[in-house]
Chains A and B, each alone.
Chain A
Amino acid sequence: DTGVSQNPRHKITKRGQNVTFRCDPISEHNRLYWYRQTLGQGPEFLTYFQNEAQLEKSRLLSDRFSAERPKGSFSTLEIQRTEQGDSAMYLCASSTSINQPQHFGDGTRLSIL
């Protein structure tokens, strides 16, 4: 059990650019979540995968955001045409079942110049 791994740890980009983050969940965790945490706030749910299927998306996930989990293992979160308001920590979490707690990664901190 190596924990949830997220890359990169930090991303600085100019407004309008596209960015992609990666999350590697704990092996055999079939449930994967993305959250966004802005300064001084708790994490907010973005989207949820069970295996490769994206089963739920928050209204926070605008059409500039897309997430995939192609083979039910790692997941990517892409933001197109980044805006200042996208600056945040993006957290990934995984779990084995609905009765088990979620394990979080270290997050990717996105800064928009």
Chain B
Amino acid sequence: AQTVTQSQPEMSVQEAETVTLSCTYDTSENNYYLFWYKQPPSRQMILVIRQEAYKQQNATENRFSVNFQKAAKSFSLKISDSQLGDTAMYFCAFTFRTGANNLFFGTGTRLTVIP
């Protein structure tokens, strides 16, 4: 079975500080993508960052970066210079590169950026 675990239900960070959200996953497959999605209150799910499992280099998108540890099946998200607009639910997810390509999501981490 494929599972995604986000062990931090809620986190908070001061504006302009750095925060790291944790995610671990379990799959026996070897060919997959990993994602972080952001879901602001009452708004749609937005892709934050994507990592291809066969790439060792960690993905980076502006203030967002990941620490991908394939052997440990760990995929954490670091948000630098946190902004008020980063307040949202953050979901870790993965999908296989074959088949339906549907996403498996974790339960989410609610991040609050404090002014």
Question: Contact residues of A with B, CB < 8 Å?
Answer: 3-4, 31, 33, 35, 40-45, 48, 55-56, 91, 93, 95, 98-99, 101-107
Across-interface contacts of B106 in A (CB, < 8 A): 42
Residue of A nearest to B91 (CB): A42
Whether A56 and B107, one on each chain, are in contact in the complex, defined by CB atoms closer than 8 angstroms, is no
Whether B44 and A95, one on each chain, are in contact in the complex, defined by CB atoms closer than 8 angstroms, is no
- Given contact pairs A48-B100, A48-B102, A43 touches B45 in the complex (Cβ within 8 A): yes
Residue of B nearest to A43 (CB): B105
Interface residue SS majority, chain B: loop
Residue of A nearest to B101 (CB): A98
Q: How far is the CB of A43 from chain B (nearest CB, A)?
A: 5
A-contacting residues, B1-57, CB 8 Å:
4, 35, 37, 43-47, 50
Whether A101 and B47, one on each chain, are in contact in the complex, defined by CB atoms closer than 8 angstroms, is yes
Whether B104 and A45, one on each chain, are in contact in the complex, defined by CB atoms closer than 8 angstroms, is yes
The count of A-to-B residue pairs whose CB atoms sit within 8 angstroms is: 56
Q: How far is the CB of B24 from chain A (nearest CB, A)?
A: 14
Residue of A nearest to B105 (CB): A42
Most chain-A CB neighbours within 10 Å: which of B35, B46, B100?
A: B100
A106 to B40, CA, bound (A): 11
Residue of A nearest to B6 (CB): A42
Whether B102 and A33, one on each chain, are in contact in the complex, defined by CB atoms closer than 8 angstroms, is yes
Whether A45 and B107, one on each chain, are in contact in the complex, defined by CB atoms closer than 8 angstroms, is no
Residue of A nearest to B49 (CB): A101
A33 to B43, CA, bound (A): 18
Whether B101 and A45, one on each chain, are in contact in the complex, defined by CB atoms closer than 8 angstroms, is no
A106 to B46, CA, bound (A): 10
What are 6 A-B pairs with beta-carbon distances under 8 A? A42-B93, A43-B103, A45-B103, A56-B99, A56-B102, A106-B44
A4 to B43, CA, bound (A): 13
Q: Is B97 an interface residue (CB 8 A)?
A: yes
A-contacting residues, B84-102, CB 8 Å:
91, 93, 97-102
Across-interface contacts of A40 in B (CB, < 8 A): 107-108
Whether A91 and B107, one on each chain, are in contact in the complex, defined by CB atoms closer than 8 angstroms, is no
